[in-house]
Chain A
Amino acid sequence: QRSPINDYERFKGVELVHPQEESRKDEIKAEVHVCAKQCSELVECKAFDYNWNSHSCRLLPWTEHSARVSLLRNVHYDLYQKKDYVRDCIVGNGETYRGTVSTTAKNKTCQQWRVKFPHDHKYTPTAKNGLEENYCRNPDKDSGGPWCYTTDKNVRHQLCGIKKCEDAVCLSCNGEDYRGSVDRTESGRECQRWDLQSPHMHPYRPEKYPDKFLDDNYCRNPDSSERPWCYTTDPDVEWEYCKITPCIEKQRVIAANKTPHCFKERGEDYRGRVNVTTSGIPCQPWDSQTPHKHRFLPEKYPCKGLDKNYCRNPDGSEAPWCFTTNPNMRVAYCFQIHRCPDDIGPSGPECYTDNGELYAGKVSKTRKGIPCRNWSDKLDELQSFLDLPFPGYLDNNYCRNPDKDSHGPWCYTMDPNTPFDYCAIKQCGGEKPLSLKNDANIEFDSCGKRSERAFSKAR
């Protein structure tokens, strides 16, 4: 039940543009797998781009590596290129390799296949055999992989040393960061594409997990399994592990980068000694299977710091967690561990008094380190927001507090996802007591209302 799209690498949101050859691109109205099948049947077709608006494709005789071709951002298109042309590793003996490596393993430049000098040879380039330019190829199925005649008259031919896909990118730790191109399982079954739901339905839709790089049908480890795996194209075998060569060099555990007392991001690097959950339940040791059976055995997860019963995050959860010693509660977060202070501290010795309304310093970055936008860029927005004339002291992109924000100076940011944020400036002399109001005019409209019927009277 393999899909014809399995032979392609998908490049989302782009189209291929060839300045002189645009007219050759005829649109074919068809489903994406039909386009893939058509392209696979034509030797001269190397790629196709698919327009999701018009549900049509254009079969292309070039790839992103071809001369004069450029990639253009276009949200309506996805580009599908034959793997043999874009993968920088080989499958088997590399007979189908169509990449653009043109130097040998010993750094000799390859001879053009169409010329017979300095080395005469029997090969003639055809549309089928892929003997283009001076690229490494394997027309005689050499067990050593792709090779070429060299431009050195004393060295007739040499192997190019292109690695097999299983060796090209090695596996460190449990391979959550594996981004290689192995697309077969250890038993040799072909992987199912992550963006397809057949033959196996699955939850790992690439758009839902952008940080897991669920590319094409390549082996990945989105769920903190022992190693990368994939769903298979065999309807009887849902998934299998893949065989990828482990890295020989030491596993990437750099103690200096691990955070001992606080946690950053998801806390995967947290190596502190907190061993109770937020509400104080002691954690179960990772090397124990009671009261909760689990798969996170320290020996199978060497890079996760699964020591004793410390709170850890071996699976990319929201924060460090542990199995609890309470048989009725399997896992719980350790939210009581403090998050590390933001990486970006104040830019200088400056500070502000009160709410920073009079701050006139030159800090121009937010607390996350994002550069501030010039106030003049947001003139209209600020005027409508403040309902005041544009204050003259809002010069350049310095942090200011034109709206008397009680949380201090702020600025509009250069990040489109963060319209505004507070600045990396501290209050002089530490936190000042807040002025709170005991009495306030309270008026509410439609919010905060609910049907007050007793719950017991519901079903």
Chain B
Amino acid sequence: IVGGLPGNSPWTVSLRNRQGDHFCGGSLVKENWVISTRQCFSSCDADLSGYEAVMGTLFKNPSPQDPDKQSVPISRIVCGPSDSSLVMLKLERPVTLNSRVAVICLPPERYIVPAETKCEIAGWGDTRGTGHDGVLKVAHFQVMSNEDCSLISRTKVLDNDICTKPLPLEIGACEGDYGGPLACLTHECWVLEGVIIPARGCGRKKQPGIFTRVSVYVDWINKVLKM
């Protein structure tokens, strides 16, 4: 995360490859399911043996003795509808929920988060020299309507995108944050309204942030969980 500050995001997951290196983020939506983005994975049939989801720690490279860290192998990848760029990752076993590991709520189907809603992104990605490398960083934003977003970004923002208001400073997601959450506070609960997707540049000032809108795919998420 460029800008932002170290923070607490107990549903943010670090995805690790076979070498144990962090390569993308994700969000815990059930004890044994994580949502991330398709771009982070080689295929919808990828053999993910040796890949792990790590959570419960604030550190990018926690010590092996870190008492709060939970590492669970990823057992399956399920790709979302073609236009979604989402993937669901099934964990080999459920994680233990506690003060450091929590599931994030899913929004109601097709719900549009009102503009100005308070949201945040989190991740262990590149900080572009803005400090606090190696710890989980969080940056705060406010939702912006898609109409305004299209005007400012000068591109047609689709219904399955969700935007955050531009800021006058360089703050935003960067390499290594993709797949992580855009979590918004509704009714005292944090809700996964967006998923961080790759975009040109990191935290460009005066530019809206564009994310995949999760509410459009909640029916698919529930179907995968059920089936």
Indicate, yes or no, whether A interacts with B.
yes
Contact flag A208-B216 (CB < 8 Å), given A447-B189, A450-B102, A455-B8: no
B1-42 CB mask vs A (1 if < 8 Å, else 0) is 000011111110000011100011000000000000011111
Q: Which residues in window 104-125 of B have CB below 8 A to A?
A: 104-112, 114
Inter-chain contacts of A335 with B (CB < 8 A): 39-40, 178, 198
B108→A437 contact, CB < 8 A: yes
B159→A433 contact, CB < 8 A: yes
Contact flag A328-B220 (CB < 8 Å), given A419-B227, A450-B102: no
**The residue from A405, A436, A455 contacting B223, defined by CB atoms under 8 A apart:** A405
A448→B104 contact, CB < 8 A: yes
A209→B189 contact, CB < 8 A: no
Q: Which residues in window 194-219 of B have CB below 8 A to A?
A: 198-202, 215-217, 219
Inter-chain contacts of A279 with B (CB < 8 A): 126, 128, 174-175, 200-202
Does any Cβ of A come within 8 Å of B141's Cβ?
no
**The residue from B44, B105, B112 contacting A444, defined by CB atoms under 8 A apart:** B105
B104→A442 contact, CB < 8 A: no
**The residue from A208, A317, A339, A433 contacting B38, defined by CB atoms under 8 A apart:** A339
Does any Cβ of A come within 8 Å of B168's Cβ?
no
B103→A447 contact, CB < 8 A: yes
How far, in angstroms, from A444 to B186 measured CA to CA in the complex?
9
Nearest A residue (CB) for B78: A418
B187→A442 contact, CB < 8 A: yes
A329→B175 contact, CB < 8 A: yes
Nearest B residue (CB) for A263: B42
Inter-chain contacts of A418 with B (CB < 8 A): 78
B104→A203 contact, CB < 8 A: no
A202-220 CB mask vs B (1 if < 8 Å, else 0) is 0100011111000000000
Contact flag A440-B111 (CB < 8 Å), given A342-B82, A385-B227, A449-B189: yes
Does any Cβ of A come within 8 Å of B55's Cβ?
no
A435→B110 contact, CB < 8 A: yes
Contact flag A442-B226 (CB < 8 Å), given A208-B49, A279-B201, A318-B41: no
Does any Cβ of B come within 8 Å of A367's Cβ?
yes
A262-305 CB mask vs B (1 if < 8 Å, else 0) is 00111100000000011110000000000000000000000000
A134-168 CB mask vs B (1 if < 8 Å, else 0) is 00000000000000000000000000000000000
**The residue from B24, B43, B105 contacting A447, defined by CB atoms under 8 A apart:** B105
A437→B191 contact, CB < 8 A: no
Does any Cβ of A come within 8 Å of B129's Cβ?
yes
Q: Which residues in window 26-82 of B have CB below 8 A to A?
A: 38-45, 47, 49-50, 76, 78, 81-82
Inter-chain contacts of A446 with B (CB < 8 A): 103
Inter-chain contacts of B126 with A (CB < 8 A): 279, 329, 332
Inter-chain contacts of B215 with A (CB < 8 A): 436
How far, in angstroms, from A203 to B103 measured CA to CA in the complex?
31
Inter-chain contacts of B178 with A (CB < 8 A): 278, 335
Inter-chain contacts of A455 with B (CB < 8 A): 5-8
How far, in angstroms, from A342 to B45 measured CA to CA in the complex?
12
Inter-chain contacts of B99 with A (CB < 8 A): 450-451
Contact flag A209-B39 (CB < 8 Å), given A279-B126, A433-B159: no
Contact flag A405-B220 (CB < 8 Å), given A339-B38, A449-B102, A455-B8: yes
Inter-chain contacts of B84 with A (CB < 8 A): 407
How far, in angstroms, from A266 to B129 measured CA to CA in the complex?
29
Inter-chain contacts of B78 with A (CB < 8 A): 418
B216→A434 contact, CB < 8 A: yes
Inter-chain contacts of B114 with A (CB < 8 A): 438
Inter-chain contacts of B10 with A (CB < 8 A): 450
Inter-chain contacts of B201 with A (CB < 8 A): 279-280
B167-195 CB mask vs A (1 if < 8 Å, else 0) is 00000001100100001001111110000
B174 CB to nearest chain A CB (Å): 5
How far, in angstroms, from A417 to B216 measured CA to CA in the complex?
25
Nearest A residue (CB) for B178: A335
Inter-chain contacts of B107 with A (CB < 8 A): 440
B88 CB to nearest chain A CB (Å): 12
Q: Which residues in window 175-229 of A have CB below 8 A to B?
A: 203, 207-211
Inter-chain contacts of A447 with B (CB < 8 A): 102-106, 189
**The residue from B41, B44, B128, B220 contacting A368, defined by CB atoms under 8 A apart:** B44
How far, in angstroms, from A405 to B220 measured CA to CA in the complex?
8
B200→A207 contact, CB < 8 A: no
How far, in angstroms, from A436 to B219 measured CA to CA in the complex?
13
**The residue from A405, A407, A450 contacting B190, defined by CB atoms under 8 A apart:** A450
B83-110 CB mask vs A (1 if < 8 Å, else 0) is 1100000000000000100111111111
Most buried by B among A335, A403, A418: A335
A283 CB to nearest chain B CB (Å): 13
Nearest B residue (CB) for A408: B81
13 A-B pairs, CB-CB below 8 angstroms? A265-B43, A278-B175, A279-B128, A328-B129, A434-B159, A436-B215, A437-B110, A440-B111, A442-B108, A447-B104, A448-B104, A450-B99, A455-B5
The 10 closest A-B pairs by CB, nearest first: A448-B189, A407-B81, A335-B198, A448-B105, A208-B50, A440-B108, A448-B190, A447-B105, A279-B202, A266-B42
B-side residues, CB < 8 A to A, are 5-11, 17-19, 23-24, 38-45, 47, 49-50, 76, 78, 81-84, 99, 102-112, 114, 126, 128-129, 159-160, 174-175, 178, 183, 186-191, 198-202, 215-217, 219-220, 223, 226-227
